[in-house]
Chain A
């Protein structure tokens, strides 16, 4: 087979150069969060990890991530032990910055390896498309913004997720896929949103007989079950024996937070809040009651607990029910036709449902949708046209994460660069579908992409010139509502594609 250019590794080298140049860029409090976790895991006995609260950034990831931090802290100890002192809050000498930033780049090797697995798992003419998709994930503006500027370790964890998804492509990899995913869950529990798809897929393909759903493959069930128990045991076992589980759970699932995160993630609730705001103006004329208390709240829409003036309140229970409902719909189809493509589609749709309807969703969670979707976006043109609005809105919605002027050119130019490059390239690589396309859906996505340009210009330049510092919430609200339209539109489009292909 002929080599396809450029290779994944070549892209990784050039991307790494840019990432190293970004070392002095803005970093969020997540930098200090991870430095603090390095300090906790390095200087305290394991039993104190989940009780330590010198810093406000307490350890709130599952144990495998804590082990991961512990392993990195061993290296950090050799490099620059000062950064591992527990009381050294907010420490960001250049050694600490270099070490932590560099650790993000190094751990991203997992992602590169997984993407290479993905490319190698594709055959024939789809290999070219697989390579393009893999490079698009590697160069994703989402990962650049979140990991390399804002600071997190998503590259590594999405690498594990992709490895697990790719393993599921072959029959021989089902067990490994499930176990890798279980390990991932013990690293970062946000991936639990995708677990239903794994559960249904592995149940149908691995635990039940391919011929009949009434025949159970007992040996497979035992293997999978004992594997998962072993992994969970490795992660949580020691803490369970010490009776620390309630403390860990309270750290992992802080239910006291509000419906919308500080910046509205572009989901259904953002549109709901936007509707509510419009209704405040409209309600008195049509005689709807307005909750005066909610009106007075100056920080509406900006800080944690949003309360609604006209529309009914939303409880976590409603969020949970809606999420499960919209996850269940695609999963029934996966259960009936458990192909790999359907599995990836179901993972994507689970991501969509949790992102759109979840409680206290962070805008970074959009990667849960974009990354699995990227793997199948090039299947045909109908998948692509559902993917396009998501690619635009998902990445644009990450812009508020970086608000410093020095990073403004980076985030905008890089995202436009990525969108231009990959939307053009994908457009050439995606084969025509054997089904009819949706009426006007392509036109919608083109129009949608076109609107993004004046919107970004308004939010980043015009608004500041016209209003100064007043109405700061306006650009945020526009961005998030615009992005929400894109995400919801692409979700509906993909639902349609999923059920008709």
Chain B
């Protein structure tokens, strides 16, 4: 396809290339003479005169191949009755959204993976279910299709993840990387390297394309929101962020940072009421549009006499949360089913009734649980402590962003906020580590992003993050894709255990160089030793979870380092200390 259009340029380009290669020193645009890590070497021939329309398709094809190939492996819950896993949950949602009236979506339970994601996921499932039923209706038959293991269904589901990602996450990543790198005047070639590194993140591929989920849709909306912020389109930033929240409530991890930035940019450099109003109205309208199908569907179903809880004999039970609402509202009014529906949706999406943490996850509460058994405390107290600790951990980053709403700071503030939530909030899942990893990884596209310091820390966070997911992955025999994708990424970016090229950056003080290297080195050694133990040594009989607990402890300590680094970089980059503006972050930033 490209050949006819490029034909007239052929001779010119050849000549240019030849002189660049053999006679003269490479163009000044290439700052380094030799690639310092393998990924740079792979894109090395693309420096100079190559058009993005040649490089970008190649990059997207290459990362797509790795995704599809990884998808050939098993998925969560493969042949694991009775409940199967995430794959079955997503398939089941396609089943109920296409087979049941809309008002029953959030009430439906059947003791089987009730829909507990926000409405956009429900609509997404509906669409995929409709398309899938066109191919093979037996995939989504009510009840009959539970735990179905048709290999063609697997291919279809894998394809839906890839297509969703290529429609949302990948364009968002491409645009974000371009905008963010231009902000610092980073050369396009460097931005491509960063783009490949971002798209090859092992944790994202393993969770979405192997273990099975649609996180990249939500992450893609978040990236779109961030790149709208970079472009100064505050209204669209709000709209995209609502979409992210509407797809997966986990996006709340970023909400304070989004709020701080958007509010801050309405206040600094001067108060801008118009902008504030636009953002507020856009947010409200987007939320309204988001729930509109549910509201209309509920009203329509109610008018046709379709009950949202058909299995119920007597009157509807009181509202699951906010029962006092019923005292003010007329339970027989036309709008009441809508209230009931929305309250039920919120109840499903935010399960406060569950514990502080569910499985073993490398966050603070689960780690501290080894020493102090958290479950003996009342749930309300734990909720309050958790809320307080989360707020304390995200406050510094968000205050800085509120008072210094600068675009350069966005990834640091997003990462620090998400790390705070991951470490201290309620009901964290190990897959949630994807959320802080995303804003940290996009730092690669920024100032000195491929320099040693950022590469070392971003690499450390990613490798540690994927390592904490190992117990989750090994439960469904995904050790091979885990090892391959993780080592591949480490190799491409020149990180341990394949290389130590990311350490000892020249322009840093020796103290920082050595402390970074020693801290990271210690963690990498622990991770490798842990893998050896988990593989070959059975834990003592009275402590069967020993290796998982060790994983949690090490992971938690490492994540705290990452949190502190992000916060420290945020303080440093914001210039808040150099102007001696006394913020409450002064003490913490010293550690880095």
Task: Tell me whether A and B are bound partners.
Answer: yes
- A interface residue numbers (CB < 8 A to B): 3, 5-7, 10-11, 13-14, 17-18, 20-25, 125, 128, 405-406, 409-410, 413-414, 416-417, 420-421, 423-425, 427-428, 432, 446, 449-450, 453
Distance in angstroms from B441 CB to nearest chain A CB is: 19
Closest residue of B by beta carbon distance from A409: B68
Distance in angstroms from B548 CB to nearest chain A CB is: 24
Q: Contact at B42–A424, with CB atoms within 8 Å?
A: no
State the majority secondary structure of interface residues on B: helix
- Given the interface pairs A17-B488, A420-B57, the reply to whether A10 lies near B38 with Cβ below 8 Å is yes
Q: Contact at B44–A22, with CB atoms within 8 Å?
A: no
- Given the interface pairs A414-B65, A424-B2, the reply to whether A21 lies near B41 with Cβ below 8 Å is no
CA distance A380 to B40 in the complex (A): 29
CA distance A413 to B166 in the complex (A): 14
Q: Contact at B66–A424, with CB atoms within 8 Å?
A: no
- B interface residue numbers (CB < 8 A to A): 1-4, 7, 10, 13-14, 17, 21-22, 34-35, 38, 40-42, 44-45, 54, 57-58, 61-62, 64-66, 68-70, 72-73, 151-152, 154-155, 480-481, 484-485, 487-488, 491-492
Q: Contact at B65–A14, with CB atoms within 8 Å?
A: no
Which residues on the A side are within 8 Å of B34 (C-beta)? 3, 5
- Given the interface pairs A5-B35, A7-B41, the reply to whether A17 lies near B65 with Cβ below 8 Å is no
Q: Contact at A406–B155, with CB atoms within 8 Å?
A: yes
Closest residue of B by beta carbon distance from A427: B10
Distance in angstroms from B153 CB to nearest chain A CB is: 11
**Which of B41, B62, B155 touches A5 (beta carbons < 8 Å)?**
B41
Q: Contact at A10–B42, with CB atoms within 8 Å?
A: yes
**Which of B1, B22, B484 touches A21 (beta carbons < 8 Å)?**
B484
Q: Contact at A18–B152, with CB atoms within 8 Å?
A: no
Q: Contact at A125–B58, with CB atoms within 8 Å?
A: no
Distance in angstroms from B106 CB to nearest chain A CB is: 34
Which residues on the B side are within 8 Å of A425 (C-beta)? 45
Ordered by A's residue number, 28 sampled pairs between the chains whose C-beta atoms are within 8 Å are A3-B34, A5-B34, A5-B42, A6-B35, A6-B38, A6-B41, A6-B44, A7-B41, A13-B38, A14-B491, A14-B492, A17-B487, A18-B65, A21-B66, A21-B70, A22-B69, A406-B151, A409-B64, A413-B65, A414-B65, A420-B2, A421-B58, A425-B45, A449-B3, A450-B1, A450-B3, A450-B4, A453-B1
CA distance A24 to B75 in the complex (A): 13
Distance in angstroms from A388 CB to nearest chain B CB is: 9
CA distance A20 to B2 in the complex (A): 32
- Given the interface pairs A6-B38, A424-B54, the reply to whether A20 lies near B65 with Cβ below 8 Å is no
Q: Contact at B488–A14, with CB atoms within 8 Å?
A: yes
Which residues on the B side are within 8 Å of A21 (C-beta)? 66, 69-70, 72-73, 480-481, 484-485
Q: Contact at A417–B65, with CB atoms within 8 Å?
A: yes
CA distance A416 to B64 in the complex (A): 12
Q: Contact at B72–A10, with CB atoms within 8 Å?
A: no
The winner among B1, B69, B487 for most chain A CB atoms within 10 A is B69
CA distance A200 to B295 in the complex (A): 83
**Which of B40, B66, B151, B491 touches A18 (beta carbons < 8 Å)?**
B66
CA distance A6 to B14 in the complex (A): 20
Which residues on the A side are within 8 Å of B152 (C-beta)? 405
Distance in angstroms from B549 CB to nearest chain A CB is: 29
Distance in angstroms from A131 CB to nearest chain B CB is: 10
The winner among B41, B152, B154 for most chain A CB atoms within 10 A is B41
Distance in angstroms from A418 CB to nearest chain B CB is: 9
Distance in angstroms from B12 CB to nearest chain A CB is: 12
Distance in angstroms from A381 CB to nearest chain B CB is: 9
Q: Contact at A6–B42, with CB atoms within 8 Å?
A: yes
The winner among B57, B65, B151 for most chain A CB atoms within 10 A is B65
Closest residue of A by beta carbon distance from B35: A5
CA distance A128 to B152 in the complex (A): 44
Q: Contact at B491–A13, with CB atoms within 8 Å?
A: yes
Which residues on the B side are within 8 Å of A449 (C-beta)? 3
Q: Contact at B72–A417, with CB atoms within 8 Å?
A: no
Which residues on the B side are within 8 Å of A14 (C-beta)? 38, 42, 488, 491-492
The winner among A24, A128, A416, A449 for most chain B CB atoms within 10 A is A24
Which residues on the B side are within 8 Å of A13 (C-beta)? 38, 488, 491
Closest residue of B by beta carbon distance from A407: B72
Which residues on the A side are within 8 Å of B492 (C-beta)? 14
9 A-B pairs besides A420-B57, A424-B54 with CB distance below 8 A are A6-B41, A10-B42, A17-B488, A128-B21, A416-B61, A420-B54, A420-B58, A423-B3, A428-B13
Closest residue of A by beta carbon distance from B162: A409
Across the A-B interface, give the 7 residue pairs with the lowest CB-CB distance, nearest first: A5-B44, A21-B69, A6-B41, A5-B41, A417-B61, A17-B488, A24-B72
Q: Contact at B13–A125, with CB atoms within 8 Å?
A: no
Distance in angstroms from A116 CB to nearest chain B CB is: 16
CA distance A17 to B484 in the complex (A): 6
CA distance A420 to B6 in the complex (A): 13
Which residues on the A side are within 8 Å of B155 (C-beta)? 405-406
CA distance A417 to B65 in the complex (A): 9
Which residues on the B side are within 8 Å of A20 (C-beta)? 480, 484
Which residues on the B side are within 8 Å of A453 (C-beta)? 1
Which residues on the B side are within 8 Å of A22 (C-beta)? 69, 72
Closest residue of A by beta carbon distance from B61: A417
CA distance A25 to B71 in the complex (A): 10
**Which of A23, A410, A420 touches B65 (beta carbons < 8 Å)?**
A410
CA distance A335 to B456 in the complex (A): 59
CA distance A44 to B54 in the complex (A): 55
Which residues on the B side are within 8 Å of A128 (C-beta)? 21
